[in-house]
Structure 1
Amino acid sequence: MPTRPAAAPARLPVEVSGAVSRYLDAIDAALPGFVTGLYVTGSAALGAWQAGASDIDTLIVTARPASGGDLAHLARLHAALPDRPCLDGIYLDEGSLAGFPADRRVTPFVVNGQFHADRPCGDLNPVLWLVLCRHGVAVRGPAVADLAIPADSAALVTYLRDNLRTYWRPLARDIREHLRDIADDDPVEADGVAWAVLGPARLHYTLTHGDIVSKAEAGAYLTALLPEWADLADRAVRWRAGEPLRFTAADLRAAAASIDAVVTDADRRLAQAES
C-alpha cells in the first residue's frame, strides 16, 4: 500500500488531522512500515466533530498481524498519546481487512484511549463497514472507494435488530430497576441520559434508511419519528453541544421509555417488511 499523503484530507477538523499526524509519526518511529493504512470514521468523518468532546475513531491497517512485540509497542504508544482528543481505533492486518470481518473477533483495538488486545472488539461489526464505505476518510492507504467494501444489507439488518433487542431493551429494564427507589428529582449523570436517548435512534435510522447519522442528527430523527420524546431529545443534543443542562431520575426514566418505544417501532417495521 502507498505511504501517507503529505497532509490529511482538508475536510477533517484541524484537531483531528493534527492528532492523526502525531500518531502516524509516533507509530512510524516505533514500528517502521507497520501501519500501512489509516481511515477516519466516527463523528469526524460524519461532519459532527465537537472539539473537546468528540473522540477520533479510526480503522488502522497493518502490514502484518501484530506480534507480542508489536503489541507491547502499541500499548506504550497509546498510553503516551494525549487524552484529548482521544484517538481510538481498530487494528486489522491487510489479510484480515480483505475479508471485512464483522464478527467482533479478538483484535487489537483502542477505546476511550485504552489499548486492548485480549478481548473481542465490539465495534468490529457491519456498522463499521457502512460508516467506512459511506463516510470514511483515507489519511493513509488507498481511497475508500478502492477498497471495494462489499454491501451486506442482510448482515447489517440482523446486527441492528439483535443489538436493539439484546442490548438496548435489556438496558431499559436495567435503568428502571436501578431507579426503582430513586426520587424523580434526584440528579443523574447527563451522559447516561444522552446515550440512552440518542443511541437507539441512530440504529433505528440506519435500519430504516441504510445510512449513518450523527448523534445530533439522531435527536432530530427521534423528534420526527416519535414526537413525544422531542423535548428530551432536544435537551440531550444541547447537552452534547456544551450547554450545562441538569438531568434527573425522571429524565432517565423517560429515556428508558424512549428506548422501548424505538425498539418497538423498529420491530413493527421489520415485521411489516418481512410479511
Structure 2
Amino acid sequence: MVFMSLRNRLQPSLAPEPIRRVEAGPWAIELLPGAGYATRYVATQAAIGFAFDSQRGLHAIGSDRVRPFDAMPNGLAFVPAGCDVLSESPNGGEYLRVMRTDGISLLSDRAFNNRIDQPAVNLALRMRRALLQNSVEDDCEAWALALAERAEGIDASPTPPQDSITGSRMRLLDEFIDAGLDGPLGIQAMAGLLELSEGYFMRAFKNATGKSPHSYLIDRRLAKARASMRDSTASLSEIALTCGFNSQAHMTTAFKQRLGVSPAQLRRRST
C-alpha cells in the first residue's frame, strides 16, 4: 500500500530476506520483504506499488493528517513525485515497487492505493517470481511497462463494489486466520466469522482482493512460513506443520507453485 524509504525499514532480530532489485531498461523494480517499517520522506520520483499482503498502520500521504490505514492484499498503488509521505506499520508486508529511472514522469499527480485490477495482479506475481528466482531471462521491462499502463487506466477515486470486504473486516479475518494457521481452516469458518453466507462471502472476497478465499489462505500460510524462516532457526519440517501444511513436501510444492522457488532455496538466498 505504501512506499517506504529502504533505509527506514525496521530490521528483525535475525537476518531478513534481502531487498531484491533489478534494473530493466528505464525501470527499477524492487521487491521489499515483509517487515515492519516507520518512514517519512518526500518522493523524489513517481512510483507504482503492489501490496502482496494485507498491511495496516498509520499514514499521511500528501497531507498533514495522520490516519489509520488498512491496505488490502493485491492492491495497486501510486505515489507521485514530490508527494510528502509518512507511514508506519508494525508488521508491514511484502511489497513490489516499480519506478522509471530516465526522468520520464508517470501518471498524474494524484496518489491512490487499494485498487484491485486482475491484469495488474498477474503482472506483479510474474515480477515477484522472477526476482525470487534471480532470473535474468524474464521480460521484466515489458511487465513494468504493462503494469504502468494498468495503473494509468485506473480511476483514482473509484466507487467500491457494494458486496466488497471492508478493511475492518479484512483485519478481523486476518487475525482469525493467523490464529488458526496451524490447523484446518475452511470457507465455512471464514464466512461464519463475518456472519455471511458462503456464496456471498466468496464473491465479496474476490471483489476485495482479486483472489479466492482458498488462494488467500495458502498465501497466508506461505507468508507465515517465510517469516518463520527469517525470524527463527526452526527446521523446515517444523515450520511446515506450524503453518498448517501437511508436511514439508506439501509446503515445498506450494512454494514452487506460488513463488517459483523451494523453501530451502529461499532460505539459502536470504543468508
Higher relative contact order (CA 8 A, sep 6+): 2
Normalised TM-score (structure 1): 0.28
Normalised TM-score (structure 2): 0.28
Where is the strand percentage greater, Structure 1 or Structure 2?
Answer: 2
Where is the helix percentage greater, Structure 1 or Structure 2?
Answer: 1
